[in-house]
Every structure is written in C-alpha cells, then in structure tokens.
Amino acid sequence: MKGNNGFQILIRITAAVVVLSALIASYTVYDTPSSRDMGGVLLCVSIAAAVLLILESALFRNSNKKYVARLATMITKTEKDSLLNFPAPAIIVDSANTIVWYNKLFGRQVYTSEEAYGIDITEIVNIDMYKIFEPDGDLICLNRRFYIAKGIHTDVSGSLSLIYFNDTTDYVELEYEHRQSQKSVIIIFIDNFEDIMSNIRESEKAHALVKIEKLIENFVDGTTAFSKKINSDKFYVIMEERHLAPIIENRFRILEQARTITVGERQNITLSIGVGHNASDLAESEVYAKQALEMCLGRGGDQAAVKTDSGYEFFGGVSNGVEKHTKVKTRMVAKALKELISTHDKALIMGHRFGDLDSIGSATGMCAAVRKMGKEAYVVVNESQNLALSLVNYIRKNDMSNYYITPESGIERLDENTLLIVVDTHNPDLVESRELLARAEQTVVIDHHRLMVKSIEKCVMFYHEPMASSAAEMVAELIEYFGGEVRISSPVAEALLAGIMLDTKNFVMKTGVRTFEAAAFLRKMGADTVAVKRLFANSIETYRQKSHLINSAEIYRKCAVAATAETFDNIRIAASQAADEMLGIVGVNASFVLYEDGGTVNISARSMGAFNVQIVMESMGGGGHLTMAATQLDTTLEKAKKQLFEAIDEYIRNNT
C-alpha cells in the first residue's frame, strides 16, 4: 500500500507538469499563423492530460475508500478479539452501571453462575464507581481473589465505560503475611515483686514463682512466640502480629489470671505489661515496649499499655496499686532536690489551676522548706480561681503574708537562676500558669496522680509516686529527709495535713502505712487536727447547694449521677463534696457530678476503689486516679451526660 501511494503521487505530479507545460506553450506559440496549428495541438494535449488527471483521481479515490473501509473492518475485528481475549476480566457498562458486554475471563473467573448482561455491576461486587476512575483504582474482592478495578470512559459523553480487573491476589496475600508476621516486643513486669516476696517463707516464694512462670508459658502457648526471663520480676516476649491481635482484642486476659495467684495469705500478684507495636524493627519495638511499661508503672500498675508511633492504648488498671514500703527512692530524691535547690538563687512553687487544699498545701510546705534552706521562695497562686482560700488566709494570718504571689508577679521574678517546682499535677495544660512553665529553664515535678500520656517535658527531676495518697504526703516525706535543719512551722504542717486529709477523705481512701507515717511526722511538727478541721468548713450557701446537688442524683448502673445547670460561687467545692457524699448511698460504686462553669461542662468523679473513675474520665479527655478524677467538656450539659453514660457502659463492658 505504501508503494501504491508513491505511484499515485508520481502520476499526479507528471500529469500536472504536462498540463501546465502545454498551456504555457500554447499561449507562447499562438502569436503567428504558422504556429497556431502547433498551439492548438498543445492545447488539446493539455486538455487530454487534465481529463486523465481527473479520471485518475476519481479511480484512486474510490480505491482509497475501499482500502480504508477494509482497514476499519480489520481494526474493529482486532479490537473485539483483543477485548474478548483480554488477559484480565473486563466489562463495559452504561451510564446506569448496567453490564452491556463482558469478556471471557470475566465470565469464567468473576460471574460464573449465569449471563451477566443487564445486571448492575454493584449487585455483583462492592465497588466504588467513582474511585475506579482515579489513578489508583479500587481494591475489591471477588470469589476469594483480590483485584484492582480501574475504569475508562470509552466515549466523550461518558455513556459507556470500560472496567477491567487487575488480579493482585498474590501481592495482597504477601502483604497480609508480612503484616501478620511482624514482630512485637512485650515486656511483662511483676508489680512490687520485692515487697511481696520479702515477708514470706521460701516454700511459698518458690510456689508463687512456679505459678508465675507457668502463667507466662500459657501466655505464649499455641503461638510462635518465645519468652525469656530477664530477671526475677521481668520477662521478655517476642510475638508475631497474628497472635498478638487476639490478645489485644481480648484485653489481655493474663492480667485477670495473674490476680488469682496469691502470695502468702492476702497479697495477689499483679502485672504491668508494655507492648511495642507496629514498629519499623525490633529495636524500635523494644523502645516502644519500655516506654509503655514506664507508662503502666506510672499509672499504678496492674495494666497493659500498647505503644505505637501514634500513641498509647491502655487495658486493665481496675485494681488499687500496691503501696511501696521502702523509702529509698524518697531519700535519694530528697538529697538530689536539696542539692538542686542549693544551686539556685530562688524557687517558685505552683500547683494546678483551681488549687485545692492538696495543691496549695503541698506548695506551701515546699515553699517553707526552701526558705529554711536560705533561699528565696514563693507560691504562685491565682486567688480569683482557687478552692483553698481558707488555707491561704490562714497562712497569712499567722505572720506569713509574703508566701503567695500572683502568676504575673511570678513571671516578673523568674530569671535563669530560678527553679520552678510544680506540685500535684504533671499535665502542662493544668498548671496555674502555662506561661511561667514555658519560660522556666529548670523544672521539678512532684505528683501522685496516675501518669498521663501528656506530661511536662524537659524536667530536671520528675518525682512521681502514683501509690502516694497525695502530693502533701510526698512533700512531707521529702521534708523529713531534708534534715533536721529544715524544720517547718505548725501552720505549714497543718497545711500539709489538710492536703492529706482532703485526698484521703479523712484517712479513709487510698491510705497506706506511709500516709500515717507522714501524718505522724506533721503532728510531730506541731500540726493541730482541730485547726485543720476548720479549714474544711463551708458557708451555709455552699452547704445548701451541695445538698441540692445530692437531691438531684439518679442511679445509673450502680453509679450516682447528679447534674445542675445552675452556677454559683464555690460550685466546684460543692460539686466535689457532693460527689464524696454520694458514695455513702447503698449500692453505689461511683459518683459523678456535672456542672457548668466558665462556658464548659465539668465532671467531678469519685469511687471507693471497686470502680476506676480514672479510666472513665480519661476516655472523656480528663484524668486523675482510681478513686478521684475529673474532666472538662466543651458541649452542652445534656450531651455531656449522654457521653458520660456511654463511657460508663464502655467501662463496664470491658471490665466485667
């Protein structure tokens, strides 16, 4: 065909030259009579050549049309054969997603039961008809095979579309196997192992150790995992994702099984489990596992934490932690803190916003101790938003009026030689002054609340004891180890004792041996229990509002829930006290009080220990510890109440 085209072009050029030459010659020789005959002949030649040129064009044009038609027929047949035998299932659908054509592979691999003509493709397979036209297509599953479905509009109007299915089953199965075989590091730690094993007979100790090791063996039994005992109270487990996922889904049943192991007559074994999950390699997984274990221990133990690159997920934590009897850590912290204070010119001490007796009391005690060391010290407090004004006024009344300064004054006094001490909180969002915390170059944290994911960073010292009853107890122990030259006055001792009594509900809740020892030390320092009791006195209006809150309570799944849309002075005090008193209702395991203040809904939560209110409040964005917690919500009172009920349901569902 290529030769025919060249021949046609040559003939046309020759004929055109002959015609043109004949016309020019006839015109040129036509001037004389003798040449007129010659001109006529040349004119006839040009006419004949023109006629031949026209005939040639007509004949070859007809031949071209036939060739084009024959070629189109061949292409159409080739396209049909190619689509019909396309090496992937393919279909053509109309604008209503109805199948109007499909190839052989689609009939053999995808829809084998009957003819697919006239059937809506979305009835056969769950496919996103918008996503298939994107570059990556849509991953679908058909007859236990995986395909990437991609679509192409076959005409401008888009009424017909071609959809083909690229089989990626091998790749998907390989990727799935890769994920399932990914290794995670699990660190299992026996809580307070030394304290538990210290006062029992060797035979009982050996019996308990056998049970613990058997428990770990059962934990990895039936899996491809292996365990290694690192020391007497710590185990390492390397486990594949295929076996770890069901354990996470079942919320680490090993925690419940461990509690059934008794040591001696009373004590039960509890475990803290840190899991490094979805890490890039085993080294990173171990780092994640260690961080998760530290988080568990900071939250009181008896729980599991799964750490990924996106955060933490917690399981368990429903029992009271075991109190540590040894004070070695306290003595070491006291020595280090005393040396740290000696290297600074002054110290600023602050607690959390809306400071209570524990926050203000522990800050006051630390301030007095620093001053006894010969350093300048102040307590930073916002008196307009404070729940312990009775304590502030009591300290001022006893010739110590220069203890307390405003946050603005604290920022003015802050310099490079100032040590900032934060007590009764480790959450940077809850401190009395965020600006002061941000500007301080060196910070010390002293707190007893269960460790939260968000905590104050860049601390030179982080003294955290989740088993302590209060921050006041921790400060009292530190002062005791500061030495005899650091002797606090009676009003300061009473401030610390008030903080202990507040958080222990007058030595009823979360009270251990060390709590009474701290109280005895404060009593020795001159603390008067009658004076402390006066610090808890309320106005008649606060008492009435507290009673009103209690009267509005309803019982939901053994939880007393009270709510009020009213606002008044000291509503925070009334709410916390109402939550405490509602625990005295028969059959109530926890109490919650909801109230509006400052444009947000606040929830104050309390329990007797059988119900972990920290987990409930943490699920709603708050925190605290097992028997006392709180949160704030930017929503309406009704929505907050509904959210609370859902959180209670979730807690009961996961822990019963």
Computed over every residue of the chain, the mean pLDDT equals 85
Q: What distance, in Å, lies between the first and last C-alpha atoms of the chain?
A: 86
The Cα–Cα gap between 604 and 590 comes to 11
- Phi, psi for 125 (deg, rounded to 5): -145, 150
Give the side-chain half-sphere CA count within 13 A for 363: 33
**CATH code assigned to 540-654:** 3.10.310.30
pLDDT of residue 185: 96
Helix boundaries (H) for 563-626: 571-582, 613-619
pLDDT > 70 fraction of the chain, expressed in percent and rounded: 84
For the chain, how many residues are written? 656
Overall average pLDDT of the 427-443 stretch: 94
The Cα–Cα gap between 39 and 29 comes to 6
Per-residue pLDDT tens for 358-388? 999 999 999 999 999 999 999 999 998 888 8
Q: Is the pLDDT of residue 488 over 90?
A: yes
Q: How many CB atoms lie within 10 A of CB 475?
A: 33
DSSP states along 84-96: HT-SS-EEEEETT
Q: Is the pLDDT of residue 75 over 50?
A: no
Distances (CA, A) of 159 to 94, 97, 123, 138, 156: 5, 10, 19, 20, 8
Which band of pLDDT confidence, cut at 50, 70 and 90, is reported for residue 69?
Answer: very low
Token output for 501: 């009594």
Listed in sequence order, the residues at least 6 apart from 307 whose beta carbon sits closer than 8 Å to its beta carbon are 274, 275, 276, 277, 288, 289, 291, 292, 295
Higher pLDDT, 264 or 605: 605
The Cα–Cα gap between 512 and 468 comes to 8
Distances (CA, A) of 433 to 428, 440, 449, 625: 9, 11, 19, 23
**CATH code assigned to 90-176:** 3.30.450
Fold of 328-534: inorganic pyrophosphatase (n-terminal core) (3.90.1640)
Per-residue pLDDT tens for 633-644? 999 999 999 999
Overall average pLDDT of the 134-158 stretch: 83
Closest CA relative to residue 624, chosen from 440, 449, 434, 374: 449
Which band of pLDDT confidence, cut at 50, 70 and 90, is reported for residue 27?
Answer: low
Per-residue pLDDT tens for 303-313? 999 998 778 88
Domain 184-316 grouped into CATH 3.30.70.270: yes
- Residue ranges covered by each domain of the chain: 2-78, 90-176, 184-316, 328-534, 540-654
236 near 228, Cβ under 8 Å?
yes
List residues bridging with 315 in a β-sheet: 304
The Cα–Cα gap between 311 and 308 comes to 5
Give the side-chain half-sphere CA count within 13 A for 37: 1
pLDDT of residue 407: 95
Q: Which of 181-190, 227-236, 494-503, 508-517 has the lowest mean pLDDT?
A: 508-517
Overall average pLDDT of the 207-232 stretch: 92
Q: Classify the C-alpha dihedral 20-25-30-34 as positive or negative.
A: negative
The Cα–Cα gap between 452 and 446 comes to 14
Overall average pLDDT of the 108-121 stretch: 79
Which band of pLDDT confidence, cut at 50, 70 and 90, is reported for residue 45?
Answer: low
Q: What angle do CA 500, 330, 422 make, to 5 degrees?
A: 60
Pairing of the two strands 600-607 and 628-633: antiparallel
- Phi, psi for 546 (deg, rounded to 5): -60, -45
pLDDT > 90 fraction of the chain, expressed in percent and rounded: 46
Overall average pLDDT of the 589-604 stretch: 91
pLDDT of residue 633: 92
pLDDT of residue 510: 80
Give the side-chain half-sphere CA count within 13 A for 507: 12
Overall average pLDDT of the 512-516 stretch: 91
Residue 264, SS3? coil
